[in-house]
A and B are shown apart, each in its own frame.
Chain A
């Protein structure tokens, strides 16, 4: 993959990073997993009632997470999204920058390809810096994670940030580790239980 400029960022693995994130969650934080491999790896990292898995509507992980963050400002909300998905909804970065919920942390898993459809390069792969787009959209607290330790540090920093945080991570071309059970009603209902909105019957 050619890039517009040299990056000092290590190529990491989605499941490894997702597992690191999930291991840090001690306060029933919400996690929204974007379509495809992103939520497959969230599922594989260990199901939690506060996880929401998307089975369609590519590009909406950040908007869904924004809605959760606005409704429950005291809860930390993480959103995991692929680079191809985010390209479908770049405008959402402006919306989030304007509303500026401090309890929202966004992670962009950037491998430059549509891995799940056969590894085709995205239109951005050779030319575009997604973190630069986020910064130009008004999300000043946006950065690339240099390596796994840096990712850990950025995640921890975001938990007490006064502005929304976006973390770009370069990842390899591996598929997701597991497969989310595709039961949308149960996913949604368990998520609502996990967020304290409802009690089980």
Chain B
């Protein structure tokens, strides 16, 4: 699994913007910190393992697992209303449990919910259920007219994540940042 966690995107070597040792999870962590996003509840995913470890190792962050993704959404919604920024980490199948809380809390109350979704179900998926649930994600986001971006390139990650967090906060609207296997390496059958 370490290979998938630490895999640089195919574009990394061609990028002049990224430091030689830049990793997608390192960039996500630094971008969260720069935007004062301190509270990071998550439901884990194999691909997110290194990011989660790094967040736990950094005392700047308050990070912990929750039992369900919507619980994490409730927590960051409450924290934001009380003045603390947060983001939720999850997998595609976890996002699929969120339609109710997005439509009844994040969107109507205008809460800048920031979500990082590790994308399963495409580009080499080996579990048919994951492939199917993945297909529900973008239609749900589109049906609520929610901002979302699929990040495939390491050299675009910082720009998309940084600008999207700032836009979420200033427009008080949720955003989903989908981490493609092209960026993270994903999870494949032989791992």
**Chain A residues with a Cβ under 8 A of chain B:** 30, 32, 52, 54-60, 62-72, 75, 89-92, 94-95, 98-99, 184-185, 187-188, 191-192, 195-197
B10 on the interface (CB 8 Å rule)? no
Residues of chain B within 8 A of A196, CB atoms compared: 83
Given contacts A56-B104, A56-B105, A57-B101, contact A91 B67 (CB under 8 A): yes
From A55, which residue of chain B is reached at the shortest CB distance?
A: B104
Q: How many residue pairs, one in A and one in B, have C-beta atoms under 8 Å apart?
A: 121
Q: How far is the CA of A167 from the CA of B189 in the complex (A)?
A: 47
Chain B residues closer than 8 Å to A54, beta-carbon distance? 105
Q: Which residues of A are found within 8 Å of B144, using beta-carbon distances?
A: none
Q: B residues touching A (Cβ–Cβ < 8 Å)?
A: 39, 41, 62, 64-68, 70-84, 86, 100-101, 103-105, 108-111
Residues of A contacting B67 with CB < 8 Å?
A: 89-92, 94-95
Q: How far is the CA of A92 from the CA of B72 in the complex (A)?
A: 9
- Asked whether B39 lies within 8 Å of A195 as measured between CB atoms, the reply is no
B68 CB to closest chain A CB (Å) equals 6
Cross-chain contact A60 with B105 (CB below 8 angstroms): yes
- In the assembled complex, the CB of B22 is this many whole angstroms from the nearest CB of chain A, namely 31
17 A-B contact pairs sorted by A residue (CB < 8 Å): A52-B81, A56-B100, A60-B77, A63-B71, A63-B73, A67-B80, A67-B81, A70-B62, A71-B84, A75-B82, A89-B67, A95-B64, A98-B64, A185-B108, A185-B109, A188-B81, A197-B82
